[in-house]
Amino acid sequence: MARMYYDEDANLDLFKDKTVAIIGYGSQGHAHALNLKDSGVNVIVGLYAGSKSKPKAEAAGLTVKNVDDAARTADVIMILLPDEVQKQVYTNEIAPHLTQGKALAFAHGFNIHFGQIVPPETVDVFMVAPKGPGHLVRRTYEQGQGVPCLFAIYQDASGQARDRAMAYARGIGGTRAGILETSFREETETDLFGEQAVLCGGLSALIKTGFETLIEAGYQPELAYFECLHEVKLIVDLIVEGGLEKMRDSISNTAEYGDYTRGNRVVNEQTRAEMRQILKEIQSGQFAREFVLENQAGKPGFTAMRRQEAAHPIEEVGKDVRAHFSWLKQK
């Protein structure tokens, strides 16, 4: 079992008299900035001119600078921008200010692992990746808890890169829950695979195909929605709380028997072969190349796929069904 590290393993004093710049103020950016600030770290936020996030960050008591000034001022620069825009912002506004002894940080290894960003050898490069969305990183911190994180060292120029990464993780609350050491390669490849084959791609395809199968057989769309989409959360919550065992212990015997005898017919050897192929495409850089080229071309395919998916019947049915959920209206 891999070792987990906690508060007592990380020294936040490493950031005493240091400035941390958070580049971006989206889901992760706002959580990192506010958690670090509340942990006593001197934080600034770097945003592009005219960013709509500027008033939000300033209202939260944070100092906002343009990215160029933030990178010049900071000792540690955490880039929390979408993968596809990081290279340009890094090249134009961050790289010129990476003087010896500074640290460059990421929450995902994509741009480093696939060579889109190549930092100078004189700076530390580390990653701290919370295993949860930004709103959860912030909320759990405020509750005195935290979200588990992965951390990794790509370059240790100062001899303190690992200590800096662990201190950063403590500053955002990660060491309260536990942090696990990995590598940029391992984090990047497993993260992309999980998203594509299971969490997003696999699950979305499974939900839609189940929904379509019931509709084709003449069942009411609303029932198909409940059975194939709505109840996913109920099952996933049980799995998160206690693994597959707790979920199976909580469902009916009929459902449990159906699980054992039918699940492997849906996700079968053909599916496994496809998963292996998807992993190979990630490992070889094929997916990264495809994604980078798609963005360089202005996202024509990406935009078309978004439009097609938004028009899927499950989305229309879902809007109608959810309109009747009083608890969603309260939210």
Positions annotated as catalytic residues are: 108
Give the count of beta carbons closer than 10 Å to the beta carbon of residue 326: 7
**Three-state secondary structure readout of 221-264:** HHHHHHHHHHCHHHHHHHHHHHHHHHHHHHCCHHHHHHHHHHHH
Q: Which two tokens stand for residue 234?
A: 């109920």
222-249 residues labelled b (16+ CB within 10 A) or e (exposed): eebbeebbeeeeeeeebeeeeeeeebbe
Give the count of beta carbons closer than 10 Å to the beta carbon of residue 66: 16
Amino acid at 100: Q
Q: Which two tokens stand for residue 216?
A: 């084709």
DSSP code for 194:
I
Q: Compute φ and ψ for 51, nearest 5 degrees.
A: -60, 135
Instruction: Give the whole-angstrom CA distance, residue 282 versus residue 305.
Output: 20
Instruction: Give the whole-angstrom CA distance, residue 15 versus residue 37.
Output: 11
Instruction: Give the whole-angstrom CA distance, residue 74 versus residue 71.
Output: 5
Instruction: Give the whole-angstrom CA distance, residue 299 versus residue 185.
Output: 26
